[in-house]
Amino acid sequence: MEALSCELSWDCVGQVARFQFFMNFVRYYPVAGLLFLVVWVWGKRRYIGSRIQQKWPDSGKIWHEIRWSFVTLLVFSSIAIASITMGKAGWNQVYLDFSEFGMGYAVFSLVAVTIWHETWFYWMHRLVHKKPWFKLVHLTHHRSTNPSPFAAYAFNGYEAFLEAIYLPLFTFIVPIHPAVILVHIGYAMIMNIWWHSGYEVFPAGWTRGRITQWINTSTHHNMHHSHFNGNFSLYFNFWDRICGTNFPNYDEYFEGVVARRRASKLARPAAGMEAMQRPAA
């Protein structure tokens, strides 16, 4: 955090750059890689019932995601460096002392930036699905029709810019503490990786629950990758529901994935018992 509090100078900008590149790369690849190893490699057979799409993408698609994630991390880091530098010059509303606004405001600003991110993402996402923007901006991401965790940041430079610029825009208007920003981008990254995991963990009835229907699932975003023109939202299912852009069969598709997961769990003990009862050769 020293890089965030240093006085504006070329040396300070260098500290900020090193901090941002380190934080972005060290956060993303280990988290996405760990999830990939746990469920795609070590748990490939064990968790097969939880896979949303039962087929597996070829390794070339996964390397595509890993390579383009590197481009995205470079863009994200560059935007963060510029934003922090502008903040040190007094061009945004980032503040360093929690006591200036209080902890209650810090919580409010976390909720506010989450709502803003959701809104920005939904409408930007719908825009880049239209011609001519899809081919120019969004096609790189949609090469992954059966995404792995590394697809979370598999954007070209144009889309990476659009994915990141919502936060500097927010800080120009709304006071926010760097710690709140770090919490926000941390859970945003984790949720993004999970939505691209290719696996579903939520229980039956989630998409129809009075409260849970408003919270997205991994299935929701996986359908977006496999079906394209629908399910545009990020954390919450608010904009998709009020704008009618959920896929009509989203609920049924989700329940089908959950039913297959349940059947797979029931089959494993049965297979184990059968193996125990089989006479030795």
What are the tens digits of pLDDT across the range 84-127?
A: 999 888 999 999 999 999 999 999 999 999 999 999 999 999 99
Residue 279 lies in a domain: no
The answer on pLDDT for 267 being more than 80 is no
Residue 67 lies in a domain: yes
Residue 223 lies in a domain: yes
Residue 278 lies in a domain: no
Q: Name the pLDDT band for 273 (thresholds 50, 70, 90).
A: very low
The answer on pLDDT for 275 being more than 50 is no
Residue 270 lies in a domain: no
Cα distances (Å, whole numbers) of residue 184 to 66, 107, 236, 271, 277 = 23, 11, 15, 44, 52
Residue 273 lies in a domain: no
State how far the Cα of 234 lies from the Cα of 249, in Å rounded to an integer.
Answer: 18
The answer on pLDDT for 75 being more than 90 is yes
Cα distances (Å, whole numbers) of residue 49 to 113, 160, 199 = 36, 33, 9
Q: How do residues 237-254 score in pLDDT, each as one tens digit?
A: 999 999 999 999 999 999
The answer on pLDDT for 221 being more than 70 is yes
Give the mean pLDDT of the chain: 93
The answer on pLDDT for 1 being more than 80 is no
Residue 86 belongs to domain spanning: 2-262
Report the percentage of the chain scoring pLDDT > 90: 83
Q: Name the pLDDT band for 279 (thresholds 50, 70, 90).
A: low
Residue 237 lies in a domain: yes
Q: Name the pLDDT band for 6 (thresholds 50, 70, 90).
A: confident
Q: Which residues of 63-91 are buried (b: 16+ CB within 10 A; e: fewer)?
A: ebbbebbebbbebbbbbbbebbebbbeee
Residue 102 lies in a domain: yes
The stretches of 128-249 forming alpha helices (DSSP H) are 133, 139-142, 157-164, 166-173, 178-195, 218-227, 238-243
> Per this entry, what is the length of the chain?
281
Q: Which residues of 137-162 are buried (b: 16+ CB within 10 A; e: fewer)?
A: bbebbbbbebbbbbbbbbbbeebbbb
Instruction: Say if CB 75 and CB 160 are below 8 A apart.
Output: yes
How many structural domains does the chain have?
1
Q: 211: buried, middle or exposed (CB in 10 Å: 19+, 13-18, 0-12)?
A: exposed
